[in-house]
Amino acid sequence: MSINDCIFCKIAKKEMPAKIIYEDEKVVAFNDINPKAPIHILVIPKKHIESIKNLEQKDEELASSLILAAKKIAEQKGLSGYKLVFNVGKDGGQIINHLHLHLLAGKPIKLP
């Protein structure tokens, strides 16, 4: 699949609809289309990076931006607690090959 076909790139470029919750110059966050918890938001970099496996040292700031964006969203929503999850690679449960951080909250969530 080429970057041009990447649905998360399309969401970041507003070429595909999504319920956008947060945006800054590097990051976009939107509601997961198939939520696994009452609150399930995906935080993605605008830049196409496939997964944590493809992160490079030069992406250090971008990687922390994802976590800080998730923290801001959680604060805005007044969440008392939440989970942040990266699925990494097919065997880690990653289906969409554009780096994304899952923000999950609203009920006790057990990791498998």
- Cβ pair 101, 66 in contact under 8 A: yes
Partner in contact with 32, chosen from ligand AMP, Zn ion, none, beta carbon below 5 to 8 Å by kind: ligand AMP
CB 100: neighbour CB atoms within 10 A?
24
What letter would DSSP give residue 42? E
Q: Is 10 in the site for Zn ion (CB under 5 A)?
A: no
Q: Is 6 in the site for Zn ion (CB under 5 A)?
A: yes
Distance CA(83)–CA(37), nearest Å, equals: 10
Partner in contact with 33, chosen from ligand AMP, Zn ion, none, beta carbon below 5 to 8 Å by kind: ligand AMP
The question of whether 40 is a catalytic residue gets the answer no
Q: 90 CB contacts (<8 Å, ≥6 apart)?
A: none
Q: How far is the CB of 31 from ligand AMP (least distance, A)?
A: 7
Structure tokens at 52: 């944590």
Q: Is 48 in the site for Zn ion (CB under 5 A)?
A: yes
Residues forming the site for ligand AMP (CB under 6 A): 7, 18, 32-34, 42, 87, 93-96
Q: Tell me which of 40, 98, 100, 102 is the catalytic residue.
A: 100
The set of catalytic residues is 100
